[in-house]
Chain A
Amino acid sequence: MPADTSTSAARAAEVLKDVPTEPGAKKPDPIIVADNITRQFGGLTAVDVDHVEIQRGVITALIGPNGAGKTTFFNLLTGFDKPDTGDWSFNGKSLKDVAPHKVARMGMVRTFQLTKVLSKLTVLENMRLGATGQRGEGFLSAPLRMLWGAQEAENTERARELLARFKLDKKEADFAGSLSGGQRKLLEMARALMVSPELVMLDEPMAGVNPALKQSLLGHVKSLREDGMTVLFVEHDMDMVRDISDWVIVMAQGKVIAEGPPESIMADQRVIDAYLGAHHDTDISQLEGVLEAEGHGALHVDSEADQ
C-alpha cells in the first residue's frame, strides 16, 4: 500500500474546485475531450455523448446503471469500436479512426471488464509483453539475442518491480491462467502499467474481487494518481467510487446525465432517478395520480390485465 495519497487527493480537489457540476463541464486541463459521440446498434442508441472532458492527473469514475453505455463508451474512446459520429482527442491529438494499438502507444491504456490475461504465458511473460518499443519484436532482429537481450533484461527488472508492488512476485513463473480472478485483475492492471501510460482506463477493476484484495487494489489505483497518471474507471461499487474518485461522471441510456465530485453526485436527484427510477419513493397507491399530474396519462394496468 502506498504511503500517502492524501496530498494528490487534495491537489485534485483543488484543481476541480471551480468546475461547475453539470454534464459536459469544462475542465482546466483536460487530457480527453470528446464531442458528439454516438454509437448505434441497430435501433438502439448505446452512446450519445454531446461533450465530455476528462481532467488530467485526477481519478475520474464513470458510473451508471447497467446498459448505460459505459463500456461501449470505453471501447469507442480506445478504438476498439468505431462511433457513428463524433470526434475525440487525447492530449489534443484527434483519435478519430486511430487503430487501438496506436491509441495504446500514445499513452492511453485500458483493461477489460472480462479480464484478458494470456493464460498459457507465465505471469512474467504477460508483464514483458506490455513493454513498448521492444527491439526483439521485429521479425529480423528477433533471432539475434544480442540485439535485444539488454533491453529484455531492463524490461524484466521493471516487470519484477511492478509485480512486487502488486504482490504477484511469488507467482511470476506460474501460468497466468492458474491465477484467481482477483489476481488476474491485478496482473492486468500491472501489465497495463508496463506500457508506461499517461491515462489508465480500468473497466470494472473491482468486479469479482474479494474485499481484502479490494482494499489493496484501491491503494494501487490511488498510487497511480500519486505517480502523475490519470485514471478513468468504470465501476458499480459505490463505496469504491466514493473512496477514491475525485470526479464522477454519470451515464444513463447513453447520455452523460450528471457530473461532479462524489459527495454531491450521490445526492444528485438526476442520478438517484436514473438508478432507482423517477418515482421510486412515490407511494404505489398514489402513483397513478402523480403520473397523471405530470401529463403521462393514467395507468391502466388493471384493466389491461383483465382483457
Chain B
Amino acid sequence: MDILQGAFHDMFSPFALSFVLAAIGLNVHYGYTGLLNFGQAAFAAVGAYGMAVAIASFDIPLGLALLIGILAAVLLALILGVPTLRLRADYLAIVTIAAAEILRLVLSTSFKEYFHARDGVSAFTEGFRNLNPLPDSLTSFATFSRNDLWVMIVGWTLVALVCGYLWLLMRSPWGRVLKSIREDEDAVRSLGKNVYFYKMQALVLGGVIGAFGGFVGALGLASVQPDSFNTDFTFIAFTMLVLGGAARIIGPVVGAVLFWGVLSAVGTILIRLASGDNPIIPPSLMNSDQASNVRFMLVGIVLMLLMIYRPQGLFGDRKEIALDAR
C-alpha cells in the first residue's frame, strides 16, 4: 500500500511538476519544431534564479519577480538562437548543452552575494505562501503538506492552461509551419516562410515553458540550487517526452507522471527486497543503499525496450514512425 502511496506522491509532487513543464517546453522545441535543445535545464534555471534572486535579494514583489524570470528565459533563448538557429540542428544541441553547463557553473561559483554558490537561494516563498487560500487547519492531505498542495494547485492549473494553449497553437497554421520546419526547412523556405523567425519563436516559447518548470520547482522546494539544473534534468525531461510520445500535447505530461511513478515504485520495491534481517536479494548482489541507483538501471532497460518495441511512445502514431524507415 505505501508503495502505491509513495508512487502517487512522486507522480504529482511539485518536484514532478517542474519536470512536466520542462518536458512540455521540450516538446515545443523537439517534438514540434525539431530543435534539438539539450539545455532545457538552463531555461528552468534562469526562470528559478530570476524569480528567487529578485525576491530574496531585491525584495521585488512576486508578480514582477515571475516576469523577471520569464524575461530571463526569453533573453537566454535569443542569445542561444541568434547565432545557432541559422545553422544545422546539431549545432543547437552542442551550444545549448554547453550553455546550460556554463550557466550552472557560473551560478555555483560566481556572484555569491546573490546566488550563494552551492547553498543556493532561499527565503523567497513567503509572498507565494501568503496567497495560499487553503484553511490553516489543513496541515496535510493525501500525503502532501499544505504548502505543497498550494504549489500543486497552481502548478497543475498552469499545466492545463499551457496544454490548452499549445493545443490551440499547434492546430493552427502557425503550428503547421513549425511541424513543416521539423520535416524539411528548405521546403518551407521555398514556400516563402521565414524559417529562422519561426524557429526563434518556438525556442522562446518552449524556453518560457521551461522557466515555468523552474518556478514551480523552486516554490515547491523553497530553495534553488545550481545542482538541480545539471544535465540530468534535461535528459530526464527528454526521457519523459519520448516515453509519452513527442509531438502530442498530452505526451510529455503523461510521460513525466508515469516516469516518476515507475521510478518511485521500483525504488521502494527494491529497497524492501534488499533490506531486513533476511533480504530476498542477497547483500552480495545489491544492498539497500544501492537500490536507488539500480532503479535507474531498470528504468533504463524499460526505456530501451520501449524504444525497440514502441518507438512512437505511448501516445504516438506508429504510422508516423514507419515513414522514417522508407
**Interface 0/1 of B174-203, CB less than 8 Å to A:** 111101101110111111111100000100
Contact A100–B184 (Cβ < 8 Å): no
Q: For residue B185, which residue of chain A has the nearest CB? A: A116
Contact B191–A142 (Cβ < 8 Å): no
Contact B169–A142 (Cβ < 8 Å): yes
Q: Assuming the A-B contacts A129-B176, A175-B319, A178-B323, are A139 and B187 also in contact, with contact meaning beta carbons closer than 8 angstroms in the complex?
A: no
Q: 8 Å CB contacts to B: which residues of A125-149?
A: 125, 128-130, 132, 134, 136-139, 142-145, 148
How many residues on A have C-beta within 8 angstroms of the other chain's C-beta atoms? 42
A195 and B173 alpha carbons, distance in the complex (Å): 15
Our pick among A80, A102, A195 for the contact of B191 (Cβ within 8 Å) is A195
B168 contacts A by Cβ under 8 Å: yes
Q: 8 Å CB contacts to B: which residues of A78-114?
A: 78, 80, 99-102, 104-105, 109-112
Our pick among B169, B201, B320 for the contact of A143 (Cβ within 8 Å) is B169
Q: Assuming the A-B contacts A104-B189, A112-B190, A195-B191, are A120 and B165 also in contact, with contact meaning beta carbons closer than 8 angstroms in the complex?
A: no
A155 and B195 alpha carbons, distance in the complex (Å): 21
A178 and B188 alpha carbons, distance in the complex (Å): 19
Contact A142–B186 (Cβ < 8 Å): no
Q: A101-B190, A120-B182, A143-B172 are in contact. List 19 more A-B contacts (CB 8 A).
A: A80-B186, A100-B189, A101-B189, A110-B190, A112-B190, A118-B180, A119-B323, A125-B176, A128-B173, A130-B191, A137-B173, A137-B174, A137-B176, A139-B174, A139-B201, A142-B168, A143-B169, A145-B168, A188-B187
Provide a sorted-by-A list of 29 A–B residue pairs whose CB atoms are within 8 angstroms: A104-B191, A109-B192, A112-B186, A112-B190, A116-B184, A117-B184, A117-B187, A118-B179, A118-B187, A120-B182, A120-B183, A121-B176, A121-B179, A129-B180, A129-B188, A129-B193, A130-B191, A132-B191, A137-B172, A137-B193, A139-B205, A142-B173, A143-B169, A143-B172, A152-B173, A175-B320, A191-B191, A192-B190, A195-B192
Residues of B within 8 A of A (CB): 165, 168-169, 172-177, 179-180, 182-184, 186-195, 201, 205, 319-320, 323-324, 326
Residues of A within 8 A of B (CB): 78, 80, 99-102, 104-105, 109-112, 116-121, 125, 128-130, 132, 134, 136-139, 142-145, 148, 152, 175, 177-178, 188, 191-192, 194-195
